[in-house]
């Protein structure tokens, strides 16, 4: 195990140099980074955007932007080598002009991301009704909830702190599901991209089809079954407890959920 670690450390600078060179050659438009509290639709949105012929979406969370270090020139991602390694090991279609990556934790690092890319980046913050998010059970431990109230409050607050930034777009999961075409046209306008047939029929064209974060673990056409789950009678007590949290109520009001 130690030998394997040393081997990786030995070749990491070379991999990073080659990956950075390839990244700068094939992606010449601003990158797209998605963040938001877990269970808010980051994987779904990534799946949709991956259908666009100008976007290369990394098929898994690479964790390139969730650890940061300081240097005399500012901040930089401690594991940017992960991004470079994925660029090297994936075939990038020739028509692609930008990459897209997602991780819920990205929402906690918007200032660092903006600084690192000199604001030449597009950040999408996707949010979802806390009452549905907080009722989601973790697939590996069904007796546990996926997200705590504190996490939802913290992540959503960090994202909304930058809602007026010209490089940040705030998108509601419910609007994406219920008003797909209009929302995607507006989002793609923010991204300086056209609304194409590939996006209109995204579920036929997406490169990301399976994930335990997706409804029923695999891709399908959009459906509203996951919206308003909290309204079911069996969740009355849990929802009452959620709504006793004044921070959650304040954020739901700010987001026009109430």
Residue 176 has pLDDT above 60, yes or no: yes
Under the banding of pLDDT at 50, 70 and 90, the label for residue 45 is very high
Q: Is the pLDDT reported for residue 233 higher than 90? A: yes
pLDDT in tens, 80-122: 999 999 999 899 999 999 999 999 999 999 999 999 999 999 9
The full set of domain ranges for the chain reads 2-127+167-226
Reply yes or no on whether the pLDDT at 79 is more than 70.
yes
Q: In sequence order, what are the beta bridge partners of 102?
A: 34
Q: What is the predicted pLDDT for the residue at 128?
A: 98
Separation of first and last alpha carbons in the chain: 53
What is the model's pLDDT at position 149? 97
**Are 172 and 180 in contact, with CB atoms under 8 Å apart?**
no
Q: Is the pLDDT of residue 3 over 60?
A: no
Show the DSSP H helices in the chain as ranges: 2-26, 42-49, 80-89, 110-116, 130-133, 149-160, 173-178, 180-190, 197-200, 202-205, 236-243, 246-254
Q: What is the CB neighbour count within 10 angstroms for residue 75? A: 15
Ramachandran quadrant class, 119 (left: phi over 0; alpha: psi -120 to 50; beta: rest):
left
pLDDT on residue 108? 98
Contact call for residues 84 and 18 (beta carbons, < 8 A): yes
- Residue ranges of alpha helices (H) inside 75-179 are 80-89, 110-116, 130-133, 149-160, 173-178
Q: Which residue has the higher pLDDT, 221 or 244?
A: 244
- CATH second-level architecture of 2-127+167-226? 3-Layer(aba) Sandwich (3.40)
Mean pLDDT over the full length of the chain:
90
As a whole number of angstroms, the longest Cα–Cα distance in the chain is: 58
Measured CA to CA, the distance from residue 74 to residue 71 in angstroms comes to 5
d(Cα 20, Cα 77) in Å, to the nearest integer?
Answer: 13
What pLDDT score does 224 carry?
Answer: 86
The confidence score (pLDDT) of residue 204 equals 86
């Amino acid at each position: 195990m130690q030998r394997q670690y040393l081997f990786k450390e030995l070749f990491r600078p070379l991999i990073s140099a080659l990956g950075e060179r390839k990244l700068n050659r094939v992606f010449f438009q601003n990158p797209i980074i998605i963040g938001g509290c877990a269970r808010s639709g980051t994987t779904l949105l990534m799946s949709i955007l991956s259908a666009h012929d100008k976007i290369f979406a990394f098929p898994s969370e690479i964790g390139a932007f969730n650890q940061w270090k300081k240097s005399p020139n500012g901040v930089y991602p401690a594991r940017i080598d992960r991004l470079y390694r994925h660029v090297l090991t994936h075939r990038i279609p020739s028509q692609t002009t930008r990459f897209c990556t997602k991780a819920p934790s990205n929402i906690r690092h918007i200032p660092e991301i903006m600084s690192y890319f000199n604001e030449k980046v597009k950040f999408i913050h996707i949010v979802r009704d806390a009452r549905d998010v907080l009722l989601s059970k973790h697939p590996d431990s069904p007796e546990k909830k996926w997200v705590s109230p504190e996490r939802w409050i913290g992540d959503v607050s960090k994202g909304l702190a930058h809602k007026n930034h010209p490089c940040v777009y705030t998108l509601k999961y419910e609007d994406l599901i219920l008003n797909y075409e209009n929302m995607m046209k507006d989002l793609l306008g923010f991204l300086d991209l056209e609304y194409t047939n590939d996006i209109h029929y995204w579920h036929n064209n997406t490169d990301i089809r399976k994930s335990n974060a997706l409804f029923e673990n695999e891709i399908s056409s959009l459906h509203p079954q996951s919206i308003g789950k909290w309204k079911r009678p069996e969740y009355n007590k849990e929802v009452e407890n959620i709504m006793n949290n004044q921070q959650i109520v304040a954020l739901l009001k700010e987001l026009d959920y109430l």
